[in-house]
Structures are given as C-alpha cells and as structure tokens.
C-alpha cells in the first residue's frame, strides 16, 4: 500500500512557496512523497495578479514550473515529488485532496483576496473541511502580544480543552514533537472568574476557590496526557494550566515555537455543518508559528 503524500497547495505566491518548503521538510520527516498541487481558477479577470491569463496548453503550467524550479534550488534529496494541476475553485477542490493525504499545507494568504487579510478564504475553507490535518504557514515576522518567558529547545504547542478533550489533537502533537525532537507544551486554559447565567442578560460571578478549580483541571489534564506519554516515554510533556483566554495564551506561546496544534469543532446535532471554532479561528489569524488544524477522529465526527 502506497504512503499517502504530504500535499502542498501552490499558486506562485511567496506565501505558497514558504508552505512548499515546510511541506518538503514534513515529507522528509515522514518518509512520504510530496505532491505540489496548483488549482487553476479562471478566468483571469477575477484574479488580476495571477501568473497566467488562461488555462495552460497541455502540460504547460507556469505555477508548477515555478514550484519545480524552487524545489530544484533546495534539493528535494530522496523525497519523491509529484506535480498536479486542477481546474476549479481552490476552496472546494483542495479540501477534497485531504481524503488521500497525510497533511495538507498552504500559505496564510495566496494571490487572491485583499492584501490586508491575515488568512485567505481558501485557507479557512481547507482548515474547516479537509479530512486530514491542515498546516497553515504564516508570513514571517508576525507580532505576538504579551511577554512569554523564553523556553529552551524546540517546542510543539498544543491547546487542550479539559471540558472537551480531543485525543486526535494530542496524538498529532505528540507525534509531531517526536519527529522534531521537541518538547510538548500543553496549554490548558480556563476562564476566570467563573460566571453563571441567572436569567437572560444577567450574569453573576460564582464564588469558587480558584486553587481547587485549577487542581481539578490539572488532574483531568494529567489523565488525558497519560496514554500519550506512555507511547512517547522519552518526550518531555508538561501541562500549563492557566486562567485566561485560550486563544490569547496559544498565540503568545506561538512565539519561536515549531508548531501550534489546535482542533476543529466536532459536529453537533443542532449544528451539523463543519466549523473551526472561535479559538482555532483566532489562532489561525494571529499565531506566529505554523498552525496545524486537526480534524476530530471519524468516530467523534
């Protein structure tokens, strides 16, 4: 049975070439093939800055030629590389590739859309809809608010919701850290002060001992981490149970991290459509490190 590829979406932009570099490294670490895919969206008047003005003739695709030249400069080594051109809407076709991919990798913003966007609509669609983990590679130099003490060595940051833990997210984070020789930084945030609804439009603060709440959450988190630590006994992994906004804490932790791993909302009976979730959406927009969005396991979906 063939090894599923790491798929990189390319469109000729600098963002997509950075994503191609990240995908090549990911493929090497996994001993997997790399597939560079260009989804050609026409006509050109909808995308005034595309490299080509119409469908390429035969096998001629300047975007894929650029990807070939880019990888030739870097030297793919022994990693098999495939190139594929598709015609259609990127936001519709790229998620479908996730059914047969190890990873889908793309830049934070391609050639379409507005220059001020931190993440393009195609990136949001792929992260929301793909069946495999999706990695979005941001532009370098993203400013991260807040002061975070420097942590020595490479880190993979993962967000853990103690109320609704996602085993697929933790498994991906531990596996990625093992591939990179990195420690796992587990961020488990909880809101404080605790509040409750009294009636529509009225919220009250609940008088609860914060130390007891934090102890209970830490106990839960340690239980969630136990099977992953057992599978990776040599991997440093310590949880940080912190009061505050989960998205803000993950964004702050992304500074100098190898990767930030977050989950996607599970489908609900009353909300059957796939959704990213507010924390994941915020991390995609603002994190300084590459972000991996991991879908729930099929049984949880």
The verdict on residue 299 lying in a domain is no
**End position of a domain, from candidates 82, 110, 137:** 137
Answer yes or no: do 129 and 185 share one domain: no
Residues 174 and 273 in one domain: yes
Whether residue 131 is found in the same domain as residue 23: yes
Residue 68: pLDDT band by 50, 70, 90 thresholds?
Answer: very high
Percent of the chain scored above 70 by pLDDT? Answer: 78
Tokens of 299: 């049984």
Do residue 249 and residue 282 come from a single domain?
Answer: yes
Residues 163, 120: one domain? no
Angle between helices 278-286 and 121-129 (to 10 degrees): 140
**Which of 117-126, 160-169, 227-236 is least confident?**
117-126
Report the pLDDT value the prediction gives residue 298, as an integer from 0 to 100: 64
The sheet carrying 34-40 orders its strands as: 81-87, 34-40, 6-9, 103-107, 134-137, 291-294, 259-263, 155-159, 183-190, 237-243
pLDDT at res. 49: 46
Q: What is the pTM of this model?
A: 0.84
| Higher-pLDDT residue of 275, 209 | 209
Domain-located, residue 148: no
CA-to-CA dists, residue 106 to 77, 110, 174, 188, 228, angstroms: 21, 9, 22, 27, 28
Quote the domain boundaries for residue 75. 6-137
Residue 278 pLDDT level (bands cut at 50, 70, 90): confident
Q: Are residues 167 and 259 in the same domain?
A: yes
Residue 88's beta-bridge partner residues? none
Residues sharing a CB contact under 8 Å with residue 17, sequence separation 6 or more, in sequence order: 10, 66, 67, 70, 107
- Give the model confidence (pLDDT) of 119-158 as tens digits: 567 788 899 999 999 999 999 888 787 666 666 789 999 9
CATH of the domain at 244: 3.40.50.12370
Given pLDDT bands bounded at 50, 70 and 90, which one contains residue 227? Answer: very high
User: Which residue, 300, 288, 294, is CA-closest to 139?
Assistant: 288
Q: CATH code at 101?
A: 3.40.50.620
Span between the terminal Cα atoms of the chain, in Å: 26
Q: Say yes or no: 22 and 128 in one domain.
A: yes
Would 225 be classed as within a structural domain?
Answer: yes
In a domain, 277, yes or no: yes
Share of the chain above pLDDT 90, in %: 55
Q: Identify whether 145 is part of a domain.
A: no
Residue bearing the bigger pLDDT, 108 or 219: 219
Q: How many domains does the chain have?
A: 2
Residue 260 confidence (pLDDT): 98
Bigger pLDDT: 110 vs 33: 33
The reply to whether 54 and 89 lie within a common domain is yes
226 in a structural domain: yes
- The rounded mean pLDDT for the chain is 83
Residue 147, domain member (yes or no): no
Least trusted range by pLDDT, from 124-138, 185-199, 214-228: 185-199
Question: Sorting pLDDT into bands at 50, 70 and 90, what band is 205?
Answer: low
Please give the Cα distance from 94 to 259 (Å, whole number): 22
155-159 and 134-137 beta bridge pairing = unpaired
Which pLDDT score is estimated for 47? 45
Decide which of 297 and 86 is more confident. Answer: 86
Judge whether 88 lies within some domain.
yes
Interstrand relation of 103-107 and 6-9 (parallel, antiparallel or unpaired): parallel
- Domain identity same for 39 and 106: yes
């Amino acid at each position: 049975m063939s090894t599923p590829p790491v798929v990189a979406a390319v469109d000729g932009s600098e963002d997509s070439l950075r994503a191609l570099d990240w995908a090549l490294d990911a493929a090497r670490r996994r001993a997997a093939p790399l597939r560079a895919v260009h989804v050609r969206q026409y006509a050109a008047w909808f995308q005034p800055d595309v490299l080509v003005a119409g469908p390429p003739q035969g096998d001629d695709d300047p975007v894929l030629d650029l990807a070939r030249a880019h990888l030739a400069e870097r030297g793919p080594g022994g990693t098999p590389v495939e190139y594929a051109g598709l015609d259609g809407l990127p936001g519709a076709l790229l998620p479908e590739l996730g059914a047969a991919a190890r990873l889908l990798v793309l830049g934070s913003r391609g050639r379409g859309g507005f220059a001020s966007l931190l993440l393009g609509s195609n990136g949001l669609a792929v992260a929301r809809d793909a069946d495999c983990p999706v990695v979005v590679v941001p532009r370098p130099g993203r400013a991260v608010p807040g002061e975070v003490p420097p942590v020595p060595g490479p880190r993979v940051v993962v967000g853990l919701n103690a109320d609704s833990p996602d085993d697929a997210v933790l498994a991906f984070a531990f596996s990625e850290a093992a591939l990179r020789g990195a420690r796992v930084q587990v961020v488990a945030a909880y809101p404080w002060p605790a509040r409750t609804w009294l009636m529509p439009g009225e919220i009250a603060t609940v008088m609860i001992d914060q130390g007891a709440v934090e102890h209970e959450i830490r106990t839960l988190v340690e239980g969630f981490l136990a099977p992953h630590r057992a599978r990776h006994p040599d991997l440093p992994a310590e949880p940080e149970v912190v009061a505050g906004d989960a998205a803000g804490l993950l964004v702050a932790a992304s500074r100098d991290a190898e990767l930030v791993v977050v989950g996607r909302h599970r489908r609900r009976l009353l909300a059957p459509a796939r959704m990213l979730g507010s924390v994941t959406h915020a991390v995609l927009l603002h994190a300084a490190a590459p972000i991996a969005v991991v879908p729930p396991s099929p049984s949880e979906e």
